[in-house]
């Protein structure tokens, strides 16, 4: 979100999906780099430490270009796609959940199956999430925090 | 930081201390509410998941008003005080570490002893840290994320 590379449509899908997750007690971070080097569009950390990853697909082409989505399952407990009403919903795989966002709010159309991470993986993903969120917030509050002082 | 309640001196101590911790690979969050209900001035999460708490003392009176500091040790692996050069350094207890901040950078004058948290406590503190950081960042990006959508 807000790093200048996403389309307006993707930003809107993200916003609605993140508001929905937040209402369910999940804290959300965009563009989280995973241990594999791949970046999750939206990572969400639940009240009990559950990790959900949401991949934002703003067009059919956007979905079709992504052959790597099963890999995301290794880094979360549930995997969702999020899209908007102009994308045909039947292309999205049953093996993942599906969130429909209108840019302001969103709804879960299909719950994602759960595939619990091992404790060590969970710890690593949670640490990654925490550090990314805190460092971005810190950079916003103190732009000189990142570099050499 | 930046919630309007801290003095300018406290903000400067915080800023220098957080820059120092960041240089050591720690992600920093201000005003983290702990399980006890008490708030840590600065919580820092290290590259391996170590949690440090830094209590900012901007004056002698500020330090003397705080009789509860040993409680913070229950929620971290190391506890530091951070202050600036106009506060007499010999008032700070040997049982905690000491950071001297000039507002731009800082140095560790005394390393804090380590008192490792139990795994369950560490998990809870890390989750708290992650959610606080992500939610604040999310609120900054989308002011409507917090409330009812």
Distance CA A127, CA B77 (A): 16
> What pLDDT, in 10s, does the model give residues A18-63?
999 999 999 999 999 999 999 999 999 999 999 999 999 999 999 9
Q: pTM, whole model, 2 decimals?
A: 0.94
pLDDT value at residue B147: 65
Residue A108 burial (CB count, 10 A): 16
Mapped onto helix, strand or coil, the DSSP state of residue B71 is helix
pLDDT value at residue B68: 85
Q: How confident is the model at residue A81 (pLDDT cuts 50, 70, 90)?
A: very high
Judged by CB atoms closer than 8 Å, whether chains meet at A28 and B138 is answered as: yes
Q: CA of A47 to nearest chain B CA: how many angstroms apart?
A: 8
Nearest CB to A104 within list B134, B138, B149: B149
Nearest CB to B145 within list A19, A134, A135: A19
Judged by CB atoms closer than 8 Å, whether chains meet at A27 and B126 is answered as: no
pLDDT of residue B2 exceeding 50, the answer is no
- B139 contacts in chain A (CB < 8 Å): none
Tokens coding B30: 């201000």
CA distance readout (Å), A26 to A29, B17, B105, B138, B143: 10, 30, 34, 11, 16
Tokens coding B86: 């106009």
Judged by CB atoms closer than 8 Å, whether chains meet at B105 and A15 is answered as: no
pLDDT value at residue B67: 85
pLDDT value at residue B5: 55
Judged by CB atoms closer than 8 Å, whether chains meet at B49 and A127 is answered as: yes
Tokens coding A2: 């807000």
pLDDT value at residue B132: 98
pLDDT value at residue A94: 94
Q: Which residues of A touch B (CB under 8 A)?
A: 1-2, 15, 18-20, 22-23, 27-30, 45, 47, 49, 104-105, 123, 126-127, 129-131, 133-138, 140-142, 144-146, 148-149
Cβ atoms of B51 and B43 within 8 Å: the answer is yes
Distance CA A22, CA A16 (A): 10
CA distance readout (Å), B20 to A148, B1, B17, B44, B101: 10, 16, 5, 11, 9
pLDDT average, residue stretch A68-77: 93
Least confident range from A46-55, A134-143, B67-76, B82-91: namely B67-76
Q: How confident is the model at residue A66 (pLDDT cuts 50, 70, 90)?
A: confident
Judged by CB atoms closer than 8 Å, whether chains meet at B134 and A28 is answered as: yes
Judged by CB atoms closer than 8 Å, whether chains meet at A27 and B142 is answered as: no
Q: CA of A62 to nearest chain B CA: how many angstroms apart?
A: 24
Q: What average pLDDT is seen over chain A?
A: 93
Q: What are phi and psi of A107, to 5 degrees?
A: -140, 155
Nearest CB to A145 within list B19, B127, B133: B19
Q: Which residues pair with A107 in a beta bridge?
A: A100
Distance CA B98, CA B102 (A): 13
- B146 contacts in chain A (CB < 8 Å): 22
Distance CA A33, CA B121 (A): 26
Cβ atoms of B80 and B98 within 8 Å: the answer is yes
Q: Which of residues B133 and A146 earns the better pLDDT score? A: B133
> What pLDDT, in 10s, does the model give residues B3-42?
455 799 999 999 999 999 999 999 999 999 999 999 999 9
Q: CA of A123 to nearest chain B CA: how many angstroms apart?
A: 8
- A123 contacts in chain B (CB < 8 Å): 49, 123
> Three-state secondary structure along chain A?
CCCCCCCHHHHHHHHHHHHHHHHCCCEEEEEEECCCCCEEEEEEECCCCCEEEEEECCCHHHHHCCCCHHHHHHHCCEEEEEECCCCCHHHCCCCCEEEEECCCCEEEEECCCCCCCCHHHHHHHHHHHHHHHHHHHHHHHCCCCCCCC
Q: Which of A17, A45, A137 to mutate to test the interface with B (most CBs of B within 10 A)?
A: A137
pLDDT value at residue A149: 41
Distance CA B130, CA B142 (A): 18
Q: CA of B65 to nearest chain A CA: how many angstroms apart?
A: 28
pLDDT average, residue stretch B67-84: 95
On the CB side of B76, CA atoms within 13 Å amount to 29
pLDDT value at residue A147: 65
> What pLDDT, in 10s, does the model give residues A85-113?
999 999 999 999 999 999 999 999 999 99
pLDDT of residue B75 exceeding 70, the answer is yes
């Amino acid at each position: 979100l807000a790093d200048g590379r996403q389309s307006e449509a993707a930003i809107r899908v993200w916003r609605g999906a993140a508001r929905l997750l937040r209402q369910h007690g999940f804290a959300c971070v965009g563009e989280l780099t995973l241990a594999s080097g791949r970046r999750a569009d939206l990572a969400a950390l639940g009240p009990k430490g559950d990790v959900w990853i949401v991949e934002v697909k703003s067009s059919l082409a956007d979905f079709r270009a992504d052959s790597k989505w099963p890999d995301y399952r290794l880094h979360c407990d549930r995997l969702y796609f999020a899209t908007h009403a102009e994308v045909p919903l039947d292309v999205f795989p049953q093996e993942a959940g599906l969130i429909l966002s209108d840019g302001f709010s969103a709804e879960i159309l299909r719950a994602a199956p759960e595939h619990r991470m091992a404790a060590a993986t969970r710890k690593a993903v949670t640490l990654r999430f925490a550090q990314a969120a805190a460092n971005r917030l810190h950079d916003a509050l103190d732009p000189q925090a990142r570099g050499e002082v």
